Amino acid sequence: MSEDVLSVRNLHTHFRTEDGVVKSVRGVDLDIGPGEVVGLVGESGSGKSVTAHSIMRLIPSSGSIVQGEILFEGEDLARASVRQMQKVRGNRIAMIFQEPMTSLNPVLRIGDQVSDVLRLHRGLSKAQALSEAKDLLGRVGIPDPKARLANFPHELSGGQRQRVMIATALACRPKLIIADEPTTALDVTIQAQILDLLIDLKRDFGCSVLLITHDLGVISETADRVAVMYAGQIAEVAEVATLFDEPLHPYTLGLMRSVPKLDEDLPEDRLLPVIGGGVPNLAELPAGCAFQTRCPHVRARCRAEEPPLREVRTAHKVRCWLYDA
């Protein structure tokens, strides 16, 4: 698949901690095609955010990419220099974070924050950059964009701040946007606005999106393909409709069942089906499958050998021995 915008191959990212080496990302493969929205879903500690930060080379100094390739437009970002990365970040790959209040500079005016990117990467003059910043703010649905240029972040609501983040991300027409929990801090009605906006913009600007979230609903409404992460690995990857109609991995299935449904009759006892136990400690993983301690279908083989991520149906890969024909 040479036409993929981003191609992550066997990515391993480890962190040194007091408790030993934490293997946060353990061999992730991920492809994102042009104009495609790929969802990366998982619970805390699954490695989804570390994967994203590895792609952007934004992992803290206690961590490092120990193995693997991150191929983006013919360049391996895993080995790119700091200088090369500065040309990529915010320019060809842009990132949107969860909390717009902490990712916007509180002492800079909105206009300056959005136009800085344009001046830095596209060499526009201050006036040109401000004028384009105004257009961008209008494009992401901020009312009265001209007046907003002079505002500080605290003067805007959470939803408006996230729109500013998106405008900044779009400023250089990136090939890829990495959105890390972009709507998690927002209320549902505002979340709906932001998701609609992201999809609109993706279509108009033709960029690809890597959408990271813990929310299966957000994935289901916006992504084309979904990768489910568990304990630093991709457990399952499929087209969004396939994944929701026919989840194969016991973890995916358990996760979907444990979300209360809106349109199903409530069980008489009001009890939800749960996945027992908790996520394993990434510093001392057992041999074999990482999900073995919580899996209802665990067999002897799962405790001995780690299952590979294999294509068991068309475009549907799963990391589980249950599907070993």
Partner 1 sequence: MTRDPAPLSTAPHAADLAQADDMPLLRLVDVRKYFPGRRAFLRSDAAAVKAVDGVSLSVRRGETLGLVGESGCGKSTLGRCILHLAPPTGGQVLFDGQDLATLSAQEMRQRRREMQIVFQDPYSALNPRKTVGSILTEAYRIHGLYTPSERMDKARALLDMVGLRTEHIHRYPHEFSGGQRQRICIARAIALDPKLIVADEAVSALDVSVQAQVLNLMVTLQKRLGLTYVFISHDLRVVRHISDRVGVMYLGRLVELSDTASLYRRPLHPYSEALLSALPRLGPRTGGKRIVLKGDMPSPVNPPSGCAFHPRCPQRRDRCAIEAPDLREHAPGRLAACHYPLLDVPASGEDAAQEGAARSNASKDNNIFQRTGSVP
Q: Is 322 in the site for partner 1 (CB under 8 A)?
A: no
* Residue showing tokens 């989804």: 48
Helix, strand or coil, per DSSP, at residue 166: helix
Orientation of helix 158-170 relative to helix 126-139, angle to 10°: 120
Contact window for partner 1 (CB under 8 A) among 84-92, 94-102, 130-138, 257-265: 257-265
Q: Compute the least distance from the CB of residue 169 to partner 1, in Å.
A: 21
Q: Is 263 in the site for partner 1 (CB under 8 A)?
A: yes
Q: Compute the least distance from the CB of residue 313 to partner 1, in Å.
A: 14
Out of 77, 110, 169, 255, the only residue in the binding site for partner 1 (CB under 8 A) is 255
Residue among 222, 294, 193 at smallest CA distance from 40: 222
Residues 6+ apart with CB under 8 A from 297: 250, 322
Residue among 36, 176, 163, 162 at smallest CA distance from 95: 176
Out of 192, 287, 304, 315, the only residue in the binding site for partner 1 (CB under 8 A) is 192
Q: Is 99 in the site for partner 1 (CB under 8 A)?
A: no
- Using the 8-state DSSP alphabet, how is residue 323 labeled? G
Q: Compute the least distance from the CB of residue 128 to partner 1, in Å.
A: 31
Q: Which is nearer to partner 1, 5 or 195 (CB)?
A: 195
Q: Compute the least distance from the CB of residue 265 to partner 1, in Å.
A: 7
Q: Is 269 in the site for partner 1 (CB under 8 A)?
A: yes
Can you read off the two tokens belonging to residue 136?
Answer: 């961008």
Q: Which is nearer to partner 1, 196 or 204 (CB)?
A: 196
3-state SS string for 51-76: HHHHHCCCCCCCEEEEEEEEEECCEE
Helix, strand or coil, per DSSP, at residue 298: coil
Q: Is 147 in the site for partner 1 (CB under 8 A)?
A: no
- Secondary element (H or E) of residue 255: helix 250-257
Q: Is 101 in the site for partner 1 (CB under 8 A)?
A: no
CA distance 14 to 26: 8
Contact window for partner 1 (CB under 8 A) among 83-91, 127-135, 238-246, 298-306: 238-246
Q: Is 244 in the site for partner 1 (CB under 8 A)?
A: yes
CA distance 120 to 90: 10
Contact window for partner 1 (CB under 8 A) among 28-36, 54-62, 203-211, 246-254: 246-254
Can you read off the two tokens belonging to residue 242?
Answer: 């396939």
- Residues that bind partner 1 in the complex, under the rule CB under 8 A: 43-44, 157-160, 187-193, 195-196, 214-218, 220-221, 241, 244-247, 253-266, 269-276, 278
